[in-house]
Chain A
Amino acid sequence: MSSLDWLVLSSTLIFIVSYGVWRTRGSKDISGYLKGDNTMKWGTVGLSVMATQASAITFLSTPGQAYESGMDFVQNYFGLPLALIIVAAVFIPIFYRLKVYTAYEYLENRFDHRTRILGALLFLVQRGLAAGITIYAPAIVLSTMLGWNLTFTILVVGILVIIYTVSGGTRAVSLTQKYQMGVIMLGMVIAFILILQKMPEGVGLGSMVSLAGNMGKMEVVDFSLDFSKRYTFWSGITGGLFLALSYFGTDQSQVSRYIGASSITESRMGLMFNAIFKIPMQFFILLTGVMVFMFYQFEKPPVFFKQVAMEQGLSGPYAEEMRAANEAHDQNFILKKEALEQLLQARASEDPVAMAEARDLVDQRLAEHKAIRTEVKDLLVKTDDRIEVKDSDYVFLTFVLNYLPAGFIGLLLAVILSAAMSSTSSELNALASTSMVDFYKRWFYPDASPKHYLTVSKLLTAGWGVLAITFALLAYMAENLIEMVNIVGSLFYGTILGIFIVGFFIKYIRGIAVFWAALLAEALVITLHFLTVYEIFVLSYLWYNVIGCALVIVFGFIFQFLKTEKQLS
Chain B
Amino acid sequence: MENKKENDEKPPFFSSWSRIYMVVLGFLGLLIILFYWLTLAVR
Contact = CB atoms under 8 A, between A and B. Distances in A.
Interface of A: 74, 78, 81-82, 84-85, 88-89, 93, 96-97, 209-210, 212-214, 218-223, 233, 263-265, 268-269, 272, 275-276, 279-280, 283
Interface string B3-19: 10011011110000100
Interface residues of B, number: 23
9 contacts: A74-B35, A81-B24, A84-B24, A93-B7, A209-B38, A214-B43, A221-B36, A272-B20, A276-B27
Contact of B35 (A82, A221, A263): A221
A393 B10 CA distance: 44
A221 B28 contact: no
A268 B18 CA distance: 12
B6 A264 contact: yes
A110 to B, nearest CB: 16
Interface string B27-42: 1100110011011011
Nearest to B20: A272
A263 B6 CA distance: 8
Nearest to A214: B42
Interface of B: 3, 6-7, 9-12, 17, 20-21, 24-25, 27-28, 31-32, 35-36, 38-39, 41-43
Given A96-B3, A269-B12, A85 B42 contact: no
Contacts of B11: 265, 268-269
Contacts of A275: 24, 28
A18 B32 CA distance: 42
Contact of B24 (A85, A210, A212, A263): A85
Contact of A210 (B31, B32, B35, B42): B42
Contacts of A263: 6, 9
A78 B28 contact: yes
Nearest to A213: B42
Given A213-B41, A221-B32, A279-B28, A89 B9 contact: no
Contacts of A219: 39, 43
A85 B21 contact: yes
B27 A221 contact: no
Given A74-B35, A265-B9, A82 B3 contact: no
B25 A85 contact: yes
A404 to B, nearest CB: 27
B27 to A, nearest CB: 6
Contacts of B6: 93, 96, 263-264
Contacts of B20: 268, 272
A219 B36 CA distance: 8
A203 to B, nearest CB: 14
Interface centre among A81, A219, A221, A269 (most CB of B within 10 A): A221
B23 to A, nearest CB: 8
Contacts of A276: 24, 27
B3 to A, nearest CB: 5
Contacts of A213: 38-39, 41-43
Listed from nearest, the 5 A-B pairs whose CB atoms lie closest are: A213-B42, A220-B35, A221-B36, A275-B24, A97-B3
Nearest to B13: A269
Contact of B3 (A93, A218, A280): A93
B6 to A, nearest CB: 5
Given A85-B24, A93-B6, A209 B42 contact: yes
A210 B35 CA distance: 13
A372 to B, nearest CB: 25
Nearest to A94: B3
Nearest to A233: B32
B31 A279 contact: yes
A210 B24 CA distance: 29
Nearest to B7: A93
Contacts of B3: 93, 96-97
Contacts of A223: 36
B22 to A, nearest CB: 10
B4 to A, nearest CB: 10
Given A223-B36, A272-B24, 15 more contacts: A74-B35, A81-B28, A82-B28, A213-B41, A219-B39, A219-B43, A220-B35, A220-B36, A220-B39, A263-B9, A264-B6, A264-B7, A265-B12, A269-B12, A279-B31
